[in-house]
Amino acid sequence: MIEILRAKSAGFCFGVERILEMAEELLAEKNGPVYCLGELIHNPQEVERIQKMGMKFIQDPSELPKLDHGGWGRVLIRAHGVAPRVKEAIKARGYEIADGTCPLVTIPHRFARDLVTDGYRLVIMGHREHPEIQGILGEVEGAGGRADVVSGIEEIGQLSLKASDRVGLISQTTHPYPKFAELISSVLEKVLEVRAYNTICYATFERQDAIRELAPQVDVVIVVGGHQSSNTNRLVEIASEYTSCYHVEEASELMAEWFQGVRRVGISAGASTPERAIREVCHRIRTLVGES
């Protein structure tokens, strides 16, 4: 009989639960159109569920229909946050803002503003195109500064740092802490002064620590979550350091051959993955191996 072990920490984080509750409450009010700027969370199935409830999705404030005098509408800001100028553009079109930015995401926003205001050269570790990074860059721009974005220490050489530089360091909240620690050490070798803030959220720590503990104990790991989810992809990377690992969004993607000769399966899930999806994956595994 196959044994399925779940990571101690997996699935929805506080920020995702909060934004989904906000979306459902706004739609339940039925007081007018409700828009979401960008993808609500990095989970296509949950986004589709919210869309079926009536949420309209846009990629830019310019897509919002102009409201007539006395008209009413709301725009929900996703958990990743947006730049201040984006919020101003929404208000300029007559819409109210329901700000669903995760409180933990606002922490690097604040530190980024403080660092550029204090005259530090800001370096952010993360993925430039990620919506969270775009939000941080917008905050920096609003504070009259600029920032460099790197995804790893191999990109440090491109920054042309000078020994006299005062460098401020922050990270995308879902980035692996060991990589951020490497960045701090690498920059310290090049400049005299570094101010670094650990802006990686506790949910990321918990999930990454849990997968490090689980993966060595099993024959294969299944990570459930959106393929575009940064935090989910980090879990896949970590698990793959210890054992075979497969990344699925839905139970239907599971393949029987993954479990041939396997006695123990580990299950983890990204921060945007509902409990329902995790249970479906566990059930599907048992079906594929003939135990259900």
Residues annotated as catalytic are: 132
- Check whether 31 is labelled as a binding-site residue: no
- Check whether 106 is labelled as a binding-site residue: no
The whole-angstrom separation of Cα 182 and Cα 275 is 34
Using DSSP, state whether 74 is helix, strand or coil: strand
Instruction: Give which of 105, 235, 263, 92 is closest to 170, Cα–Cα.
Output: 105
Residues 99, 76, 59, 85: is their CA dihedral positive or negative?
Answer: negative
- Check whether 42 is labelled as a binding-site residue: yes
Distance in Å from the first CA to the final CA of the chain = 11
- Check whether 231 is labelled as a binding-site residue: yes
- Check whether 13 is labelled as a binding-site residue: yes
5 within 8 A of 265, measured Cβ to Cβ: yes
- Check whether 201 is labelled as a binding-site residue: yes
- Check whether 80 is labelled as a binding-site residue: yes
56-58: strand order across its sheet? 56-58, 34-37, 74-77, 96-99
272 within 8 A of 11, measured Cβ to Cβ: no
- Check whether 102 is labelled as a binding-site residue: yes
173 within 8 A of 108, measured Cβ to Cβ: yes
* Phi–psi pair at 242, nearest 5 degrees: -115, -35
Amino acid identity of 21?
Answer: E
The whole-angstrom separation of Cα 51 and Cα 27 is 10
- Check whether 229 is labelled as a binding-site residue: yes
The whole-angstrom separation of Cα 12 and Cα 200 is 16
The whole-angstrom separation of Cα 144 and Cα 25 is 36
Half-sphere exposure of 164 (CA within 13 A, CB side): 0
Ramachandran region of residue 119, left (φ > 0), alpha (ψ -120 to 50) or beta? left
Amino acid identity of 282?
Answer: C
Going by the annotation, the residues of the binding site are: 13, 42, 80, 102, 130, 173, 201, 229-231, 272
Going by the annotation, the residues of the binding site for isopentenyl diphosphate are: 42, 80, 130, 229-231, 272
Going by the annotation, the residues of the binding site for dimethylallyl diphosphate are: 42, 80, 130, 229-231, 272
